[in-house]
Amino acid sequence: MKVVRNVALIAGASLLTLAAVVAVRTMTWKPEAGAEKPAALAAATPVDAARAAAHLGEAIRFQTVSNQDVAANRWEEWDRLHAWMQATYPAAHAAMTREVVDGRTLIYAWPGSDPKLPPIVLMAHQDVVPVTPGTEKDWVRPPFSGEIAEGYVWGRGAFDDKGSLVALMEAADALAGRGFKPRRTVYFVFGHNEETLGTGAATAAKWFADRKIRPEFVLDEGGVAVTSNALTGEPVAVMSTAEKGYATLRVTASAEGGHSSAPPKETAVVTLARAVDRIAGDPFPLKFEGPGAQTVRGMADGGGWPMRMLVANDWLFGPLLARKMGETPELAAMLHTTVAPTMLEGAPKENVLPQRASALINYRLHPRDKAEDVMVRARRAVRGLPVELSWEGTPVEASPVSSSSDATWSTLAALATEATGAPTVPGIVIGATDSRWFGPVAERVYRFAPFLVPFEELSRFHGTNERVSVENLDRAAEFYTRVIATTAG
Ligand SMILES: [Zn+2]
């Protein structure tokens, strides 16, 4: 009996100690992002919001649609967009040189007075995704009308990514028009095929590498501010410090083939189905770490004590947090490499046993996993099955994770917060952006545009009724004037 009592006492004391540790950590906890002080922030240069909105409307009317079949692209629309940019932004074009690479990607350079300083690179892309056939009638305004109504500029690309492109050009035109001269060289890189191959941005990155230019930072699309985050209901701005990689695995099963009226027990399709099931049934573990966890920590900072307690003590509650996030696919994607079987191929006819059946499995790589790890894991999953594994195309590794504590981060985060009124937290892009090509060229690559929107608004981009508010466009243009004046002025 005495032993039992002692055990109970010890257990009780341990629990009290644990509770005390959890309580102290909760009370003293601060998210780690933004440890260093920001630079002195330059004032915004005013931009004419109505003029910017009219310009975005015009830019939307050029149908720079990136089709899945690139041969269907109407390249003259890109050429018209280029001519329009030159005519619309005379001050910016007088201040900057312009070079075209890979056919239609634009590199603008605004030479700084001190060539020893590393330059900055600001990015946006010219192309847009197609309007899904059959959804045209659901658009309240025609998708390429660029109409301005109800305080919004409407149309495909308003948000992704002509809003940023126009905001950058408005910023340059406003600054140059007022005689601003940068100390650091400022580059604009406008990719022409972000939504398909991204070869434009890849060529631009190589352009920098060939000239041994190492930018101080690169800022591209890939994060925005929402008025109410899913965790605490407070506004939050996510400036992504990383993006996931991309790889597609081909799984192939071979067999004798023959007539489906006399099938053997194991056919190519059955073997393939087993292999796909095994690979998809062996997900990468969810871990509460990295930029995805930092987003949650940053959001929790503005929340009540239960949320703070969990994130402040992730040494204890990390697995619980990871499991909770794992229930929502978009949040789970921030914490691990995702596995998605997408295409299956078998016989050309229903009564034929295929000699060869294959599946494609699309992976989005978390920064802690390499493509090689994916291959090793898949091989282990299908051990004993007669299938072959090979890469479909060349895998793209996840980006490096940029600093979320140095002075550059703190400066950009402070500017983002002043623009949106929301705390700025690090994050990870679960899709892909043009800036992924700049990983080898720049130590810091950030992905953010200062659009402040309700969460539901995000479904409009790549979706129906895409639009951007005139207020957000103005916010973005003035934000870019401050980014340039603060970091390159
Ligand atoms: Zn985009």
Of 43-57, 220-234, 268-282, 411-425, the one with minimum mean pLDDT is 220-234
Q: What percent of the chain has pLDDT over 90?
A: 83
Residue 128 Cα to ligand 1 midpoint, Å, equals 7
Q: Does domain 242-391 have CATH number 3.30.70.360?
A: yes
The rounded Å distance from CA 114 to ligand 1 centre is: 32
Å from CA of 1 to ligand 1 middle: 68
Distance 129 CA to ligand 1 centre (A): 9
* CA 155 – ligand 1 centroid, Å: 14
Mean pLDDT, range 145-171, rounded to an integer: 97
Distance CA 416, CA 225 (A): 9
112 Cα–ligand 1 center, Å: 28
Of the candidate ranges 15-19, 382-386, 399-403, the one whose mean pLDDT is the lowest: 15-19
| Banded pLDDT at 1 (limits 50, 70, 90) | low
Ligand 1 centroid – CA 241 distance (Å): 16
Spacing, Cα 248 to ligand 1 middle (Å):
21
Q: Which whole number is the average pLDDT over 407-425?
A: 97
Among 169-173, 293-297, 382-386, 447-451, whose mean pLDDT is lowest? 293-297
Residue 347 Cα to ligand 1 midpoint, Å, equals 37
Q: Which of 409, 467, 469 is nearest to 141 (CA)?
A: 467
Query: Per-domain residue ranges for the chain?
Result: 49-223+402-488, 242-391
Provide the pLDDT for residue 7. Answer: 76
- pLDDT of 15 higher than 90: no
Distance 106 CA to ligand 1 centre (A): 16
pLDDT in the model for residue 2: 66
- Average pLDDT for the chain: 94
pLDDT per residue as tens digits for the range 181-240: 999 999 999 999 999 989 999 999 999 999 999 999 999 999 999 999 888 889 999 999
Lowest-pLDDT choice from 291-300, 331-340, 375-384: 291-300
For ligand 1, the distance from its centroid to the CA atom of residue 45, given in whole angstroms, is 26
Q: From ligand 1's centre to the CA of 72, what distance in Å?
A: 20
What is the predicted pLDDT for the residue at 115?
92
Task: Compute, in angstroms, the gap from residue 230 CA to the centroid of ligand 1.
Answer: 23
Q: How far is the CA of 305 from the centre of ligand 1 (A)?
A: 36
Average the pLDDT over 387-391 and give the result. Answer: 98
Ligand 1 centre distance from Cα of residue 194 (Å): 7
* pLDDT for residue 177 is more than 80: yes
Q: What pLDDT does residue 205 have?
A: 98
Q: Token pair for residue 354?
A: 């295929």
**pLDDT of 34 higher than 70:** no
Residue 108 and residue 115: Cα distance in Å, rounded?
A: 16
CA 284–ligand 1 middle distance (angstroms): 27
**Closest of 151, 223, 129 to residue 467, by C-alpha:** 151
The architecture that CATH gives domain 49-223+402-488 is 3-Layer(aba) Sandwich (3.40)
Ligand 1 centre to CA of 94 (Å) is: 28
Positive or negative, the CA dihedral 217, 223, 229, 234 is: positive
Q: What is the pLDDT of residue 436?
A: 94
| pLDDT number for residue 36 | 84
Cα angle for residues 67, 68, 72 (degrees, 5° grid): 45
- Give me ligand 1 centre to Cα 270, in Å: 39
Banded model confidence at residue 20, pLDDT cuts 50, 70, 90 = confident
177 CA distance to ligand 1 middle (Å): 28
Q: How far is CA 319 from CA 19, 21, 95, 335, 365, in A?
A: 18, 18, 53, 11, 20
Separation of CA 125 and ligand 1 centre (Å): 7
Rounded to the nearest whole angstrom, what is the distance from the C-alpha of residue 157 to the centroid of ligand 1?
8
Query: From the CA of 352, how far away is ligand 1's center (Å)?
Result: 43
| CA distance linking residue 88 with residue 94, whole number of Å | 12
Pick from 187-196, 302-311, 355-364: least confident? 302-311
341 CA from centroid of ligand 1 (Å): 24
Q: Please name the amino acid found at residue 173.
A: D
The residue type found at 21 is: V
CA of 297 to the centre of ligand 1 (A): 26
* Structure tokens that stand for 85 in this block: 């940019």
Q: Is the pLDDT of residue 29 over 90?
A: no
| Mean predicted confidence (pLDDT) in 2-19 | 78
Instruction: Please tell me the distance between residue 410's alpha carbon and the centre of ligand 1 in angstroms.
Output: 24
Given this model, what pLDDT does residue 3 score?
67
Q: How confident is the model at residue 262 (pLDDT cuts 50, 70, 90)?
A: very high
Q: Residue 183 Cα, ligand 1 centroid: separation in angstroms?
A: 29
Cα(130)–Cα(461) distance, rounded to whole angstroms? 11
Q: What is the mean pLDDT of residues 37-58?
A: 96
Output phi, psi for 131, to 5 deg: -80, 130
Give the model's pLDDT for residue 33: 63
What does the pLDDT read at residue 24? 82
Ligand 1 centroid from CA 458, angstroms: 12
Task: Using the structure block, give the residue that is written with the tokens 């992002």.
Answer: 33
CA of 480 to the centre of ligand 1 (A): 17
Q: In angstroms, rounded to a whole number, what is the distance separating the alpha carbons of residues 167 and 47?
A: 9
**Mean pLDDT confidence for 240-255:** 97
Q: Between helices 407-420 and 470-488, what is the axis angle to 10°?
A: 150
Whole-number Å distance, alpha carbon 140 to ligand 1 midpoint, is 22
